[in-house]
Structure 1
Amino acid sequence: MSIRALVVGGTNGIGYAMACRLAGENPSSRVVISGRNKPDRIPNPNIDFRALDASSMRQIKRYTDEFKSSHQDQQLDFLIMTQGIFTMAGRTETAEGIDNKMALHYYGKQLLIRELLPVLKNNARVIIVLDGKIGAPAKLDWKDLDLKQGYSLPSAAYHCISMNDAMVQFHATQQKQNGNTQRHFIHAFPGVVASNLMAGLPWYLRAPSQALMRMVAVSTDTCAEHMLRGTSEVSEIAEKDGRFWGHIDQKGREVPGKAIWTEEQLKTISDHTWGVIDDALKCTS
């Protein structure tokens, strides 16, 4: 089957492997990969590159405006977001006042979803690759959601993971209220994957981390297969239960026992999210 897909973070690692897998299934498919730098090698002629700094809300807005304008008649079957960074640095604000890690792992992903909804097919799959396993409402500091007061690496991770959990449910709920679309929103945990993510570590941690990776990590292609197959299978299971969101683990299996967020919790997180993003879009520095 011919598909249309956009993979943000698709220039290397898991995203690149997912893009190549989708493009390789049918030569008539079209896959756009986006990231800061064009890959040295693009193995399929049906893969196109479009540059994007996914840590900047203003750049994402310009990018999505251009994408919608040029893809009005080519709606997407997949919106996949794998962009991220592995760093030991503390809070590092972008020019828009958002922590760089949180901009990549959370806020930018949500802005991409919001802006690209008009070019998603009614049965499209939206996949966030971060960690669909450990998020929960109890892991949030509800009075400091963007962590301007109490930032730490663990708290940033928990906040990005948990708020992405909430927002897949938010988007699924919104579409149920607003129409008959049946898009599925999936939050995926890739597990330990042999990619270049550890390049962001200090030099003295890279060698032991790479040795550990060689022992326990799966290949990016294996991970991509698990993510795509799992998305398809879990979406089918979820739809039978009347929901259009789900979480998958590193094997592509549905994560059991995930919290169902309350309407008040979803409103608090969505209001916060759009507030931070819209403030960033107004930023002139």
Structure 2
Amino acid sequence: MTFRAVVVGGTSGIGYAMACRLAEANRASPSSVTVVGRTKPATFPHANMEFRHLDASSMRGIKKFTDELKSSGSKLDFLVMSQGILTMQGRTETPEGIDVKMALHYYGKQLLIRELLPVMSDSGRVIIVLDGYLGDPSKLIWDDLDLQTNYSIKKAADHCISMNDAMVQFWANTQPDAPACAKKHFVHAFPGGVNTPIFKSVIPTYLQYPVSLLAKWALTSPEKCAERLLDGTEQQVKECAEQGRFWSNIDNKGNPVKNKAIWTEDQLEKVSKHTWEVIDAVLAVKD
């Protein structure tokens, strides 16, 4: 059986570690792990890994990428999305008019799911790496979901985290009736503190060396994080199938996050409707 995975944001850090782990685990069978991002990694440790360029903040770029990927006709078993940005800047819009943080952390992830879901295997896994802990419907400004008028760094984080929570439940609920073993599973994962290059973007140069030494001691390695998130996903797939539930929020140990809010149908409809309105308005613009 052929195994196929796509890891967006997989050029470094957590995403790269997850891509390498998936490639290693499936190297005995025909398989491919496509690492997607801006810059090709210097090395790939496994022959079944390949690189595809994508600016994951661009909705039109994502649509072109997914159209090309689907044209191969191959089924997809894993879709992992860890793309993100760490910045203290205020609202900074992409050329498409979406805040770059929200484009990377939320809208682009949902467009990737929407476009690639039709070619995913019946028991495929979709993993969003952001923050499976803190999302909640009460944190949303419901009449300004894209924060055109109420933007702050904290609110952008609240909205991206919470709307991703909503959408893993939305996608799970929209699956057709099928045996439990043939259901796709949707995960929102919290990686915790991980020693990745992203921190260098906000740390002054003169502090980077001492901070890097501290990080090696205090933070989890990307490899350990990848192991926990992927193993935790598989455990949740088994446990949740027995409960008839096909979405999960997992913590940095791979364990289920307790007491997550169950979003109402009305809330899920509002979030999904808003999401497609924003994305499809961009896609409707002719180049």
Instruction: Confirm or deny a common fold (TM above 0.5).
Output: yes
The residue identity in structure 2 corresponding to 1:85 is I
CA contact (8 A) 1:235 1:244 kept: yes
1:206 to partner: Cα distance: 5.2
Q: Which residue of 1 aligns with 2:106?
A: 106
Cα distance, 1:283–1:209 mapped onto 2, change above 3 Å = farther
The gaps in structure 2 that reach 5 residues or longer are none
CA shift, 1:170, in A, is 0.2
Describe the shift of the 1:116–1:18 C-alpha distance in structure 2 as closer, same or farther (beyond 3 A). Answer: same
What corresponds to 1:124 in structure 2?
Answer: 124
Question: Whole-Å Cα distance in 2 between the matches of residues 156 and 236 of structure 1?
Answer: 33
Calculate the TM-score normalised by the size of structure 2: 0.94
1:168 aligned residue: 168
Identity %: 57
Structure 1 position 200, deviation (Å): 2.1
* Equivalent residue runs for 1:4-153 within 5 Å: 4-27=4-27, 28-70=30-72, 72=73, 74-153=74-153
Instruction: Report the Cα offset of residue 284 of structure 1.
Output: 4.5
Distance 1:228 1:239 in 2: 17
Q: Is the 8 A contact 1:198 1:210 kept in 2?
A: no
Q: Which letter does structure 2 place at the counterpart of 1:241?
A: Q
Give the Cα separation in 2 of the matches to 1:89 and 1:195.
20
Structure 1 vs Structure 2 CA RMSD: 1.7
One-letter amino acid of the structure 2 residue matched with residue 193 of structure 1: V
Aligned partner of 1:101: which letter?
K
Q: Residue 168 of structure 1: SS of its match in structure 2?
A: helix
Comparing 196-205 and 247-256, the one that deviates more: 196-205
Q: Which amino acid aligns with 1:78?
A: F
Name the SS of the counterpart of 1:15 in structure 2: helix
Q: Which residue of 2 aligns with 1:238?
A: 240
Distance 1:214 1:266, change over 3 A: same
Cα deviations by residue, 1:187-238 (Å, 9 ceiling, x for unpaired) = 0000000110113215269536545523321110000000100000012111
* 1:195 paired residue number: 196
Alignment of 1:171-250 (within 5 A): 171-176=171-176, 182-201=183-202, 203=204, 207=208, 209-210=211-212, 212-250=214-252
How many Å apart are 1:161 and its aligned residue? 0.3
Task: In structure 1, list runs of 5 or more residues that go unmatched.
Answer: none
